[in-house]
Structure 1
């Protein structure tokens, strides 16, 4: 009897130990499940946090994009040759000074043939590009516009030579890969093929890896999302953030591609952004003025030109002027006369009562004193004047 009782007690202890082990195993499983649940909850919380951060980032990007206002300005000859002026409100981007030149359209009348007229316009374009001019104003110094409007024979536009000079200047400034789209066949452009190219910094090749490019809005709609396709001279169109009309010329800032994205994307910016951000000369704009008065009154810059320079053989010797005055400006204007000088342009403009053209300018200069020839042609005066003012005004 004693031995049986000992064996039964041993069996009971073994059973109790098994129960305890099973209970411990179940408790361990419950703890693991609780830990997994906690980890899942924490993972959900982190995912929600990430989602909220992404939403905030998207909201910030959209609000910043809404700050950029795009306004489309029509060009001189065709509605296709238009440009975008973005008003970028950013204190970080510096605004570099600009230099404009004004030349009369009548200088083409002094050329003997259409070929010479085209070549003369090419000389003006080359000089402007070499000295990094930002704006070229072509003004009517003959008074033809005023007389014709009074006779009710014509109601818009300037003289024919003004238009021809402006169109050729625009054509040469435009990158080669955009010319067929923006410029239809015209008699004004018949002999432009013989002109020397500007080879400006913004005339890129297809293989050039650059942050900015000039482009034209394509007629092809984007496959997904908003925006529009822009032809910037690459193999494929670039998708930009703005919905714009087709055949509009724009300046695009390219966004570096990530590994996942197959499409090149970009942002529409102001034409002055490449110069202000990177210091790259980005060509010139062309403006038509129906008189010498409109050269000043229709200035595209806020506040107008703060330094106005007139050139004439009756002006002050450039070597006798105060050069410190020429170096301090935000928007400078250099005005050239035609065959009969600025005096003839002032006389033809009925909206100005002044007789002395020097009163219109801050400085009235003779940039080539003691000249050997009786007359200096306007295209020659442009090169001489810009060369003389290069160091004094810090052009470029």
Structure 2
């Protein structure tokens, strides 16, 4: 089962300070890592949130990037001024030994290409310069598999979809909520306070799907029903559920909703 989530570009609207926005994005990234989310899709809310949208995608991508080569890809920027206080997400692409002698044949690592003495090498987070003979250009990221180990490292490129297990999330921008939902081929779960509570048989049917499942979250001031209005009748292959039917607060914040909904879905998936 593969899960992706969709969040609005107005996700940071309820935070005024840059530091608080950064912390909110970190919580979203952590939830995506914990529950092995394939894609985080940022859809347009119908209004202009260009600055927040850029901040949201930039920090999400920064947090997904392995720590050992972040500085190579992300120069100092006002957008990233508070990320230094954040803990690593520690997804599989960010773990692994830094000791070259402990790297094993068949290990998968992620790195960035850099030049040295007129040749190309790849930084995979170890205390050794690994020669790179692939097609990727300088300063480009790539995922590699170890063919030969220390001290005569040889590696070769692989694609993310060749890795059988979760590696890291992807971040991409989508269009409007309606266009995203109509173009998505697999099942869709809409999270809404105005919907009915989850029925076991319905959620089990969706979670048993072989297609990728999209979980959609609303904005800070409008739910899915308000955003779609009458257009919701044109959406196919979806279920809308209230994941917090007896909530004790006036609202559930986006980062809380993501963590809570994914926790519930995870429980239904593995506690059959």
Aligned pairs, number = 264
Q: Which runs of 5+ in 2 are unaligned?
A: none
Query: Contact 2:136–2:142 (CA<8 Å) still a contact in 1?
Result: no
CA distance in 1, matches of 2:81, 2:29: 17
Q: TM-score, structure 1 length as denominator?
A: 0.61
Deviation at 1:201, TM superposition (A): 2.4
Q: Does 1:333 align with 2:214?
A: yes
Aligned to 1:218: 114
2:254 paired with 1:254: no
Aligned to 1:199, which of 87, 90, 94? Answer: 90
1:175-324 aligned at under 5 Å gives the runs 175-204=66-95, 205-207=97-99, 209=103, 211-220=107-116, 228-257=120-149, 262-274=151-163, 276=164, 279=165, 281-296=166-181, 304-319=184-199, 322-324=202-204
Q: Is the 8 A contact 2:198 2:242 kept in 1?
A: yes
Structure 1: which 5+ runs fail to align? 1-96, 145-157, 299-303, 348-353
Per-residue displacement from partner, 1:137-175 (whole Å, max 9, x unpaired)? 11221333xxxxxxxxxxxxx721111111111111111
Report the TM-score when normalising by structure 2.
0.87
Matched, 1:362 2:241: no
Q: How large is the RMSD of aligned CA atoms in angstroms?
A: 2.5
Distance 1:253 1:172, change over 3 A: same
Aligned to 2:258: 382
Higher RCO (Cα < 8 Å, 6 or more apart): 2
Specify the structure having the higher radius of gyration (Cα): 1
Which protein has the bigger helix share?
Answer: 1
Residue 117 in structure 1 maps to residue 21 in structure 2: yes
8 Å Cα contact 1:317/1:366 also seen in 2: yes
* Structure showing the higher strand proportion among its residues: 2
Q: Which runs of 4+ in 1 moved over 4 A?
A: none
